[in-house]
Amino acid sequence: MITYAVALEKGGVGKTALAVNLAAAFRQAGLDVLLIDLDAQASATHWLGIDVAALTADRSALGVFNDALTGRLTASGITDRVITTAGGVHMLAAHPQMAGLPSQLSAATLGGIFLLSEALDTLAQAPPYDVVVLDLPPARGPILGMALAAATRCLAPVQSEDLVIRALVALMESVTQVRGRRVNPSLQMSIVRNKYMPRSGADRVYDELLRDEYKDLLIETVIPVRAALRDSVAVRQDIFHYGGPEVAEARALFLQLVSELIKLDGQR
C-alpha cells in the first residue's frame, strides 16, 4: 500500500485539488484508493459530494483517531467509517471537530506521531487499498508529523510565490527531521508544480530556481491553471466526472502524474 501525503505549510497552493484529482486518477488507473481528509475545513470531503453537516464526528476520520487514542482501533472500525464516493474513490471524511485533533495528539504518547501509521497498518489486515492519499491542513504541527510518519512519499504542490518557496523550505526541514529521527527513514519527497502559468515570467523564474535547488525532487508533470480544475469544485466532482470545458487536458495531466508516481513507487 502506497501512501501519499499532499502537504505544504501554506494555504492556497491547491493541495486539496491535487489530492482529490490524484485519488480520482489512481482510481481511473484501476487501483483501489482511499482518500483521508485530515483538514478540519473538510474541503476534500465537500468536494467529493459528502454532506459534512450530516456527518457525525464519530463517523469521520476523527472517530478513527479517537479509537486509536483509546486502544479500540480495529480494521472493521476503520472500514465501517469509509464512504464510497460517486467516482469510486473511498474516503475517510473530515469533520469540523478535527480542529481539536492537534491538541489531542500533543497530549498523546510520543505526540501521537504513530497513530496514523497504526491505523494504516490495522487497515492492511482488511482487503488492502493500493493507494492512500492524505489531504493535510496548511500548517506545521502534530497532524503533519503524523502524516509524514505514515507516508511513502510527501508531495508538495508549489507555485511561483516567495512565500510558497519559503513554505517548501520549512516542509523540507520537517521531512528531514522525520527521516533523521528514524520516525520514517524511508520517506520520499517530491515537488509538484501546481497552478502554473507557463507564459508568466515569474513562473519561469521560479521554475529555474526550483530546478537549481530541487532538480532531483521535481515531478516532471506540471499542473497548469485551468478553469476546469477551479470550476469542478463548485459542482462537487473530481476532474474525471466534471463535464465542463478543458477537461480532456486536465484529465490527461493527472493520468500522466499517476503514471510517473507508479514508476517511482510501483504498485503494492
pLDDT tens digits for 122-157?
988 777 799 999 999 987 889 999 999 999 999 999
Nearest to 135 by CA among 101, 97, 94: 94
Structure confidence at residue 110 as a pLDDT band (50, 70, 90): confident
Placement of cell 506521531 in the chain: 113
Q: What is the pLDDT of residues 220-259, one digit of tens each?
A: 999 988 888 888 888 888 999 988 777 999 999 999 999 9
Amino acid residing at 124 = A
pLDDT of residue 231: 87
Mean pLDDT calculated for residue range 153-164: 86
Q: How far is CA 141 from CA 9, 47, 97, 224, in A?
A: 9, 24, 17, 29
pLDDT of 215 above 90: no
Closest to 190 (Cα-Cα) out of 150, 135, 222, 153: 153
Q: Pick from 70, 13, 44: which is nearest to 60 by CA? A: 44
Task: Specify the pLDDT at position 230.
Answer: 83
Q: Is the whole model's pTM more than 0.75, yes or no?
A: yes
> What percent of the chain has a predicted confidence (pLDDT) above 70?
98
Burial of residue 250 (number of CB atoms within 10 Å: 0-12, 13-18, 19+): buried
- Return the pLDDT at 199: 67
> Which of 2-6, 55-59, 72-76, 156-160 has the lowest average pLDDT?
156-160
What structural domains does the chain harbor? 2-265 (3.40.50.300)
Dump strand ranges (E) for 159-222.
188-196
Residues 6+ apart with CB under 8 A from 160: 196, 197, 200, 202, 203, 205, 206, 207
What is the distance of C-alpha 99 from the center of its chain? 17
Average pLDDT, the chain: 90
Angle between helices 142-150 and 115-123 in degrees, nearest 10: 40
- Please name which of 187, 194, 189 lies closest in space to residue 170, comparing C-alpha atoms: 189
Q: Where is pLDDT greater, at 236 or 59?
A: 59
* Strand runs labelled E in the chain: 2-6, 33-37, 83-84, 90-92, 131-135, 153-158, 188-196, 223-224
